[in-house]
Structure 1
Amino acid sequence: MPWQVRPEGLDLRVRATPRGGRDGIDGIEVRADGLAVLKVRVRAAPEDGAANAAIRAVLRQALGCPAAAIHLAAGATARIKTFRIVGDGPDLARRLAAAAGG
């Protein structure tokens, strides 16, 4: 899975697709290196943090949590990003699995 449950919530690996034509979650992908990522596409361009903000909004909507609970932990300018989400880790994992189609 692209997430790891932690005592304070979970860490989530995302593969970002900016300028993707729509905002949404496209499922889970296991890359050639074995790393699992949640595929998220957004309409926003990767300029001035707009795509990162749009990804946060997609995650917020899918998880039903406040925007303040979602923090970009790593990969601000990279295609693979890590988001730290504060809350009930097992519940967040269930919601992500449902949003990813699994």
Structure 2
Amino acid sequence: MAETLAVRVKPGSRKGPLVEVGPDGELTVYVPERAVDGKANAAVIALLAGHLGVPKSRVQLVGGATARLKRFRIDGPAQATPR
């Protein structure tokens, strides 16, 4: 079963790597990598996979490759781990 998540990304952040869950359930992901050559997207995928407890191969960027608001498809059951 696939699930789609909307994620706000903050590339080049000194605060990251970090996943914050807002009061409304929105995810904000802070990564130190800059948005150059897909490095920030790759870092977000790795961080999301760890946060959700799934392998990186199950996290796929489906929308917003060059935007700060991105959509990811998660294949299989996702279970958030507290951080």
Same-fold call, TM cutoff 0.5: yes
Contact 1:16 1:80 in 2 (8 A): yes
User: In the alignment, what sits opposite 2:17?
Assistant: 23
What TM-score do the two structures reach when normalised by structure 2?
0.87
Contact 1:29 1:39 in 2 (8 A): no
Contact 1:71 1:84 in 2 (8 A): yes
Higher helix share: 1
What TM-score do the two structures reach when normalised by structure 1?
0.72
Matched, 1:85 2:74: yes
Q: Report the aligned-residue RMSD.
A: 1.8
The correspondence for 1:64, drawn from 53, 68, 78, is: 53
Superposed structure 1 runs of 4+ greater than 2 Å apart? none
**Percent identity of equivalent pairs:** 35
- Which consecutive residues of structure 2, in runs of 5 or more, have no partner in the other structure? none
Amino acid at match of 1:11: T
Deviation at 1:28, TM superposition (A): 2.1
